[in-house]
Structure 1
Amino acid sequence: MAEKKRWLLPINQAPTPFQLAMMVLSLISVIIVLMLTFAKLESETRRVLLFVDTSICTIFISYFLINLYRADSKLDYIKHNWIDLIASIPAVEPLRMARLFQILRVIRLIRMTRSILVPMMKQRRQATLASLLVAMVTILTFASVLILIVESGEPGANIHTAEDAIWWSLVTISTVGYGDYYPVTTVGHFIGGIVIICGVSFFGVISGYMASIFIAPDEHEKMEVQSKEIRCELELALARMEQNQQELIKQIAELKQQVNDKQS
């Protein structure tokens, strides 16, 4: 039984932020596969989902290759993570359904929710990058699909194809606003407003992360200076304690000598 489930994340092993991000992307990917398989979609909406699915698979394959390169035992890593490689092939339709097995990873993740927060707090930079990756994919996916569904076929609309929807999402989330593509419906304006707010928040987090990269070395130096000062104070305190101990021993010896003199 253990041999068959080697590719599952052990229940006592807390995931890293990037493992958590890959699991969330796996869940999104499974939802996309189910929609492509069972839902009745227009051709352009299907193309958007296929584009997103291919992008997620590219992330999966890149993550797999990076971890394979870093692994001490390449063969052992492949044995434990072969399902990730197979499920990350976007061009072969039957293999897309293999991504359903990744639901088991998500279920296992839910079971160990208590062990997630502490490791993530200890790896803030990695958690930030993983969160940004998941946020970017999620926002672009939902924004592209929803705006295409809402705007397609409306009088005066200029977002008709998958490329138009994806380009509009990228431009809107970056708050550049070229104006070549824009929503004309009320629902489309509402979606655009949400995407803009998400984009401002998204790049605000990126700015804070970049600032922390430059500020962190200074904080590290301050911590080193403080630790050196604490060490010096401890050494001085120990030296004083040793000196006091020697004086106390000397006084005890003198008292003993005085007692011996009186007895004699």
Structure 2
Amino acid sequence: MQERITPFQLFILVLSIYVIGAMVVDVFVPLPHEVSRLMQYMDSIVCLFFFADFCQRFYRAESKLAYMRWGWIDLLACIPAGLFQGARLFRVVRVLIVLRAAKSMSLIWKIFWRNRAESVFASAATMTVLLVAFSAIAMLLVEAPNPDSPIDTAEQALWWSVVTVTTVGYGDFYPITTLGRVVAVVLMICGVGLFGSFAAYISSMFVKDDSERDAREARAQREMTRALYHEIRGLRDEIGQLNAQIQDQERRLAAQAAKPVNSEHKSS
């Protein structure tokens, strides 16, 4: 299946690799129960992005039937692993398909330079999702063993990670260990930069709209100038033809006026 790689597709690719890595860790590494639950929550969240990607490409496909020849793999990969364990295998296949379409890092680099604003947004979205996931996992690992910590469940860690990366910080859940506070500091600093990137992308959308409007106006002015130029050329050619006709008419009139004079001289 031919894939048209876009920054959003690269975002989905990174999430797919994360899901596969999390799957391998969950299978081969003994994890605390709450960490496993947290990874299941993140798996469900990532599946929402997978489903949005599937809907987008299905809508844009010229032939829906031709797309579904391979698209059913993407559809099954959207099912959370907790509901359908076989979805994990389809995610591996999906990653291989996108990697085959990407082919090389040079192509990925060209995609980023060709769509800079979209690439910045996709990179910021990727980093946000990964930061939320890894920060929540790290917070559970360092805070849950402490009986005095208010963060000891998957839901609390995920909630804390989201409100911290968005720099909201309600203060209902907070780390009390040194390592937990280090994780919080890193997440807050990264969150400021990431949401600054989101703001820059939104601003670029308005600038892009203004640029497109200016480009349309400039194109209309060029077309109008070109049309006026052709009209002026046509008028100049017509004026030249009229001048030539007038000169011919004047020469004929002068020749006719000179004939009687010549005949009188001959008769005398």
For the aligned pair, the TM-score class normalised by the smaller chain equals: 0.7 to 0.9
* Cα 1:106/1:219, change in 2 over 3 Å: closer
Give 2:140's aligned residue: 148
Give 1:241 deviation, angstroms. Answer: 11
Which secondary structure state, in structure 2, belongs to the residue aligned with residue 154 of structure 1? coil
Structure number, greater radius of gyration: 2
Which secondary structure state, in structure 2, belongs to the residue aligned with residue 177 of structure 1? coil
Q: Deviations over 1:27-77 (max 9, x none)?
A: 011011112222101110000000001111121122112221222211111
Q: Distance in 1 between matches of 2:101 and 2:181?
A: 36
Match among 142, 154, 163 for residue 162 of structure 1: 154
Percent identity for Structure 1 against Structure 2: 33
Give 1:175 deviation, angstroms. Answer: 0.8
- Any conservation in 1 of the 2:11–2:123 contact (CA below 8 Å)? yes
Give 1:133's aligned residue: 125
Q: Which amino acid aligns with 2:15?
A: L
Q: Distance in 2 between matches of 1:195 and 1:152?
A: 18
Q: Which amino acid aligns with 2:89?
A: M
Q: Distance in 1 between matches of 2:131 and 2:101?
A: 23
Give 1:186's aligned residue: 178
Q: Distance in 2 between matches of 1:216 and 1:103?
A: 32
Q: Distance in 1 between matches of 2:110 and 2:6?
A: 10
Q: Distance in 1 between matches of 2:193 and 2:109?
A: 22
Q: Distance in 1 between matches of 2:145 and 2:33?
A: 13
Give 1:84's aligned residue: 74
- Any conservation in 2 of the 1:61–1:88 contact (CA below 8 Å)? yes
The answer to whether 1:220 aligns with 2:218 is: no
Q: Deviations over 1:92-128 (max 9, x none)?
A: 1233233222342364366322122333333344334
Mean Cα deviation higher: 205-214 or 26-35: 205-214
Match among 65, 69, 74 for residue 75 of structure 1: 65
Q: Which amino acid aligns with 2:24?
A: L
Give 1:122's aligned residue: 114
Give 1:138 deviation, angstroms. Answer: 0.8
Q: Distance in 2 between matches of 1:238 and 1:231?
A: 11
Give 1:256's aligned residue: none
Q: Tell me, which stretches of 5 or more residues in structure 2 are unaligned?
A: 237-268
Match among 86, 90, 93 for residue 98 of structure 1: 90
Matched residue count: 239
Which secondary structure state, in structure 2, belongs to the residue aligned with residue 178 of structure 1? coil
Give 1:108's aligned residue: 100
Which secondary structure state, in structure 1, belongs to the residue aligned with residue 150 of structure 2? coil
Give 1:23's aligned residue: 13
- Any conservation in 2 of the 1:150–1:187 contact (CA below 8 Å)? yes
The answer to whether 1:44 aligns with 2:37 is: no
Give 1:206's aligned residue: 198
Give 1:240 deviation, angstroms. Answer: 11
Q: Tell me, which stretches of 5 or more residues in structure 1 are unaligned?
A: 1-5, 244-264
TM-score (norm 1): 0.77
* Cα 1:105/1:218, change in 2 over 3 Å: same
Mean Cα deviation higher: 42-51 or 61-70: 61-70
CA RMSD of aligned residues (A): 2.9
Q: Deviations over 1:184-235 (max 9, x none)?
A: 1111111101110111011111111222222322222333445566667888
- Any conservation in 1 of the 2:61–2:67 contact (CA below 8 Å)? yes
Which secondary structure state, in structure 2, belongs to the residue aligned with residue 93 of structure 1? coil
Q: Which amino acid aligns with 2:191?
A: G
TM-score (norm 2): 0.76
- Any conservation in 1 of the 2:164–2:188 contact (CA below 8 Å)? yes
- Any conservation in 2 of the 1:87–1:96 contact (CA below 8 Å)? yes
Q: Which amino acid aligns with 1:137?
A: V
Q: Distance in 2 between matches of 1:220 and 1:50?
A: 44
